[in-house]
Structure 1
Amino acid sequence: MIIVFENIALMPIAAIFASAAFYFAVIKSRAPAILRILRGFAIALALTSAAGMSVTFREEKPKKTLAALIDVSDSMFLSARSGDICRYFKKNLKSLESVYRVELFTFAGALKSIRPSQIYSLEKSGPTDIKGALRELQEAFGSGIDGILLFSDGVQTAAETVSSSSRQRQNNTYGNIPVFALDVFTERGDVRDVSLADVKPPAFSFKGSRNELAMNVRSRGFNGLGAVVTLQMATGDGAAREYAQISSATLTLREGDNPLNLPFAAAKTGRIEYRVSVSTFAGETTRENNSKAFAIDVLRDKLRVLYLCGRPSYEYAFLRDFLKNDFGIELVTFVILRNPENVALVPDEELSLIPFPGADVLMNRLPDFDVVIFENFTFERFGIYSPHFEVLKKWVGDGGGFLMMGGENSFAGGGYARTPIVDMLPVTIGQQKEPEETGLFAPVTADGAEELLYGRDEDVRVRKNLPKLDWLQIMSPRAGAKVPIKHPWARTTSLEAAPVLALLDFRAGRTAALATNSTWRWRMGSADRVYETFWKNLLSWLASARDDTARNIIGPPQKAIIGEDVEFLVKKLSPAGRISATVAGPDGRRETLKESGNGGDYAAFAFAPKTSGRHTIEITESVSGAALRKSFKSFVAGPYWADESSNLEVDREFLGRLAQETGGLYVSADMAAAEGGLPSEEISKRLKSSPREAGRTSGEASTPTVFFAAVVLVILAELALRWKRYGLW
């Protein structure tokens, strides 16, 4: 409703006469109430008529709805672009809301609705998918949106671009809602920057093997300058984390792309974090893209074993022969042939024996090994003390494997009750030497532990004719330890069956205690396969502490490219394990994968995703038909994803083509700086036609003539009432 007064100047005079009339005709009058009310109404109508008041009733048109899409991808935060957007809305949001209904969204990959106050606390949200954001908006709101205001630098992650050829708008890849690309950025001219792009580490590596880190050093404005690319490996955790350089290369920058392959070798196993960086220069737009971090699963190409034996024995001879002839094992062994107190009649340099470097091995060489074996080894005479065992204990706690084998100089007999490693052994030992059980015996396997000895061998004759072991140190298992092999009659002090083999998970590592040194007897005759199976299984279990949880599926990247092979390895829990693999696509369909290779402890698979979206790999490992474990790992497949942080230039050409193809408008910086923040006339021409009612406007419902007629009618009504009911004045 709109009220208009045409005779503003006459209103004071009219108000005076109206007040006098109201005083005498209404307040002072003794007429009945109904008559005084009619008189007051007539006076008010006369006043409004004299002032020329008119009343118009109008139904307003509904506002057009604009969706403001704000890009919060990585590239928007590497320069001042996000700040430019904040300043634009701070200046123009109220003006926009006075003309349009404005809905606010942020996007990088996914679309997110936000409140106006959240514009000023934007956070980056990963790579950009402009096409996906536009499609998601139109699918969610459809006809509820008349136009889209796009605040983006056009640096999109997906390689797909807007076609330069004209198409029918109904077939537009980017939808049929006009897009208005606003260039609100203060950047002008060429960007000066050096960045790392397309860093492609190997999906996995083997310890000690040579690798190449592929990358592209992108240069803008620094042609001819020298740059150093450095690769560092992380050491330590948390606040103690440091980076040690392991490789570097020098290159002369050319304008544009500078491909580089940087060689390096993985020094230790596990999931290792690396950082690659390139020199920084004065005048760069940002230095945030001069380095990138990544992680690689580093595997053992061979199982590395350190074997320390206190004296020659059959156990040492047979086990050393077996291990050194296994191509999957790298063995370093020391056997003590001459103790320090033994007197030699010739100088040490003329002896063919070398001094035992025990202290050096434990202090400096442990990271080179996966498993350490002590057999019948007394340490004190070789200069090994408590600090050396602290190092050994920490190494095991960080994921190493340790085995102590029986013998008169093992466990309590070797003085190990006085060392820090007593807490990590799977058996309890005291200061006194353990009792012994002599004589031959056939070990008893616990339920489910037969696989440890026999693998998949179903030959009952081998089991029945397995040679017996000889001699045992009697010890009690520690709380939490597993006892897969026991003595048939020997008992501990708590009357439990004495363990032949005890196993314990110690922090991130594993330990084992073998209470006999007579497994060499299994190497005889038809039991030779049992001996090999037992030792491979035991060493594999000790070495795989880091590999049997979430990292048993190794290699698929977080993002894969449609049509390109995705390769991954599966770490087996058991050498006898059989691996089956399936992959479920985004539509839920499953594909069974075939092994592309088998490396003993690892099974290799490869397949090429055909559709975009999340894929989930499911691995099942079974032994003798029984499922041993299931593992899952997911990744996302899509078109080629570029590294947007290495391209800092606003892609105005792309934004212009996008606006043109959708029937919208590229709003230049000058147009965006105009009053109201938008060229309203140009915008209105291009907004989508809305199916909503356009609105209508009525004419004047009251004019001065109408008011005068109403006054006359009221006066006549009063006269009629007085004549009929009350008589004349």
Structure 2
Amino acid sequence: MIPDAIDIAFGPLLPWPAIAVLAAAAALLAGLVLWRRARGGWWRTLALALLVLALANPSIVAERREPRSDVVVVAVDRSASQEIGERPARTEAALQELDARLARMPDLVVERVVVSSRGLSGAEEGTRLMAAVREALADVPEHRLAGIIAITDGQVHDVEAAMAAEQPAGPFHVLLTGERGEQDRRLRIVRAPSFGMVDKTVTVTLEVIDPAAPTGSATTVLMGIDGAEAIPLAVPVNQEHSVEVPIRHGGQTILEFAAEPGTRELVLDNNRAVIAVNGVRDRLRVLLVSGEPHAGERTWRDILKSDPSVDLVHFTILRPPEKQDGTPIRELSLIAFPIRELFELKLADFDLIIFDRYRRRGVLPRMYMQNIAEYVRNGGALLEASGPTFASRLSLARTPIGDVLPAQPTGGIVEQGFRPRVTALGNRHPVTAELAGAGADGGEPTWGRWFRQIEARDVRGNVVMSGDAERPLLVLDRVGEGRVAHLLSDHLWLWSRGYEGGGPQAELLRRTAHWLMREPDLEEDVLRAFARGDQLEIDRRTLEGDLPPVRIELPDGSSREVALEELGPGHGTATLQVDRPGLYRLSDGVRTALVAVGALNPVELSDVAATEDRLRPLSQATGGGLQWIGEDGVPALRRVSADRAAAGRGWFGLRANGDYVVTGVLTIPALPAALALLLLLGGLLMTWRREGD
């Protein structure tokens, strides 16, 4: 074997401390002999040295070594900001030039890393170039790393974490693809709430950042709410500005902001920002007015009190004004009905008013009845549960409230057993669709019977349940901005008592009440979409007609058509896989909807101006270099030793580490025992002879 390297190794016969003590004693003795100039002193010294060396047991080690190539990592930024202007062309040209130069360097392996910010998670996290480099270096020993070369625009969003963690063992070089001194206008959302109370406002703080515009100069920002016509806002440049935005409904409210283009622009995508604010209702205030005690009164109270989102105010008219029985006032435990406070001063504070078997008894003057009717037309909600008096001359239909009720009494009352049924229209309406026990495909319901129904005429709105002889039983209607529900029976309580098996009275009343109070999930004619991770779920409900396909406009401006799968009458859904964050617009020709998917304001596009500020500290800390391709081109590459500078004007250095793997080892004793004994005896004989002369 022809060795590549020869070395001397020791295999001591005694512990090194013992050999050191013996060596010190031998040196002292030899020094004393030589100092006294005794005969044979040099031979005595040689014998002692041979003795110490024999105890150290030296060996000659010959190694056969196989050199190992160094590794250079080339990280290529393919994020969205790298698609601006000349950056793609410069990236490709620099990559080809680097490949050609690195290929001419012997003993060098190139590891290429491509970094992309595509997809939902990538848009949210930005360009994670350092994380990709760390992953590439996971299997590369530090003593083999020649260096790292990154081709990027400098907009890297995990540099701070890399600086705080362990830095690369080799030089980090940066090639910047953009132009020095680039400027771009962008819109930044400083603060925005995730939730807001319905019928109140939320504060959104935004800032238009434009290095090319003087601070405080005015620019126009268009604000759109749920796809409605945009509202122009005057916003100062380079200053935070707060905007009050009304939340008009529950569920998601989509806010769009768009700043007009500046004098210098790289891309217009970051002039827009989208916010999704979830509208939530405070405790819903419900006023329940019972005309007189009856078996079903507690049913209403129990159902409403069991809902934690409902704040119930309940009054029962026990003592009408016309009742005069001579009972002293001080002996009455009843409280006076606060008519003026409820129906004039605080009427608008209620989300829903329920009249349960109420009849005209002189308690509510006509003026207050008119207030209730106006309350409904202006956006309020009313539920009338009619008893026998609705068919009499004391009916609420004979008051101004009758103008907003969807049914008028004929004067007739049906008092025989019947099973409530969901109508064909009710099978489409979310209030009554898929009620448990309703009977599939027009089959007989499994519910218990009721025994009273008020006959009605001049019915308008949507009849979702019918009773005896298919007469209207539950009617839902919209009046002006408000909503009205009319239940033409007072026997709902039979279901709560479990008569003949009972029925879904709690679910029916809950749905009815929440539809009246505009619960988004109970809208009967609506197109909605929800983002669930990387899936877009589409839901369409309609009371009439078929379910046409939905056209979806993607954030990049393209569109596609999706067919709906029918789940039930008037109810269809679809699921679409998405991989791009942003605002999706949906339309089926009748209804439109907006849905925000993923990161609404991607970090990747928040700032697209090329910069050296992010990566220069890391490059300097590791001894690397930084160069703008557009100004100076691709620098020359050199191999340098580990103790020399790795960058200079117009060149980047890659360290030559000289790493190797030992493939063979030959060990030969340098002082075999026989030779050591022979030399030691020879030295002693020569010492004896010199001393005998």
Q: TM-score range by the shorter chain?
A: 0.3 to 0.5
Compute the TM-score of the two structures, normalised by the length of structure 2. 0.43
Compute the TM-score of the two structures, normalised by the length of structure 1. 0.41
